[in-house]
Amino acid sequence: MAASIIDSSIFGNIFSTDAMREVWSDRNRTKHYVAIERALAVVQGRLGIIPQEAADEIIGNCHIDKIDMDRLREQTERIGYPVLGVVTQINQLCRDKLGEFVHWGATTQDITDTATVMQIREGLEIIDGELAAISAALVSLSKRYRDTPVIGRSNLQQAIPVTFGFKTASILAGIERHRERLAQLRPRVLMGEFGGACGTLASIETGAMETQAGLMEELGLAQPDIAWHTVRDTIAEVGAFLGLVGGSLGKIAMDVKLMMQHEVAEVYEPFAPGRGSSSTMPQKRNPISSCYIHAAVSVVRQHSAALMDAMIADHERSTGPWEIEWIALPESFCLLAGALKQTRFVLEGLEVDEGNMRANIDLTKGLVMSEAVMMGLGTYIGREYAHDLVYDLCRQAIKTDRPLLDILAEHPEINVHLDRAALAKLCDPANYLGQAGVMVDKVLARAAAVK
């Protein structure tokens, strides 16, 4: 019976995905163990390190369907590691004791680490695809709303206008950096392990490095320069990457939650009948996906720290830190997959209310244009004096609940330099968007250049 939220029959496809659960499943992990033992026999038979007859017999019995998973569970509980159980089962499947040559010169951690790297490779493929889809959704939003004014906010207060395309393009730029990071880390991370007891391959008298090279070629992994049994920076780097991606997804969720508030009502998660409704308040439309994203990525970030803690390993083979990875890495991948799926759902179907965006800009009756007025007036009376004057007039506008434009137009120190028409131009949000469009175009061009 599933006890984890990831494997829950109720919550599982909210917090994760079938595809990522399959990557980190017992069966898939064991399948990789078997595939590595098979590849090792292929290479060592070819090199003459083990008899070709033994290699052929091992190869013929290295298939996941031949592994008794219930027996493997019992063996693992007794031994402490699953690899020896797999080796024993393969050995016993082979005729005439030819299976004694399986796992020749390897150690448990070699097989375990290499299988983990193969799972990481599969998991990163899924993440890469989801990031590409999220990027495409952000590109579409950034193009559509390139010039749509929306209030920018600082310390949760209205600041100055930006555009909604600027908001989405800012996030898009971060997603594109994640895609670049992913491409950069693959050559470092997708590196197998085959070093024997303490990493020196002392158990193979001749052909040790050739075996290592051939094994990695068979598996499509990079050959390490030296054993990394207790030097875990590459695994921690994966965890850090997952945490960074999660942080960006959390930023998206946070903004969507805030913009869905009734008092703001600028964007909404996609509508589905009953989705986000309350058991007691029929009027509610809760930000369901954003809530799940927030929860999932918060745990992923904690797991990133745990994977860094696992780097502090003792000597050449560690006592405990390694096992942290067995807990944190699968959960990180599975939870991030769920957050990516939810984010993609939100962005691909995001409902945008341009009318409310404009209404919120006008909510303060022009106060959000005070910086534009200050800068325009500063040419005539000095920036600092203009700041203090406009500040006082803003307080007056708030106190009297009048439009800032009316108060500005009446002031003798202002109307001597700027008439009402000129002030109205300064108070128009569409005239104070700076280089937002230029910046959006730069981000879109960079995204378009990524294959």
H helices, E strands: number in the chain: 19, 4
| CB 88 within 8 Å of CB 33 | no
**Residue 317 annotated as catalytic:** yes
The Cα 349–Cα 54 span in angstroms is 57
Q: Which residue has the tokens 């919120």?
A: 360
Q: Given 144, 278, 383, 395, which residue is catalytic?
A: 278
In the 8-state DSSP scheme, what is residue 162?
Answer: E
**Structure tokens given for 220:** 């499509």
d(CA 205, CA 410): 95
| Pure H helices in 101-207 | 108-144, 164-189
Reported as half-sphere exposure (CB side, CA atoms, 13 A), residue 408 has a value of 29
- Which of the residues 46, 153, 285, 317 is marked catalytic? 317
Q: Is 25 a catalytic residue?
A: no
Helix (H) / strand (E) containing 378: helix 370-381
Report angle CA 279, 284, 290 to the nearest 5 degrees.
100
Q: 353-360 long-range contacts, Cβ below 8 Å, gap at least 24?
A: 353/265, 353/266, 353/267, 353/268, 354/145, 354/148, 354/164, 356/264, 356/265, 356/266, 357/148, 357/149, 357/150, 357/151, 357/164, 357/266, 358/149, 358/429, 360/150, 360/151, 360/158, 360/264, 360/266
Q: Which helix (H) or strand (E) is 352 found in, with range?
A: strand 351-352
3-state secondary structure of 86: helix
Tell the residue number behind the tokens 């990481």, with chain if given. Answer: 120
Residue type, 168: T
Phi then psi for residue 338, to 5 deg, are -65, -40
Q: Which residues does the annotation mark as catalytic?
A: 278, 317
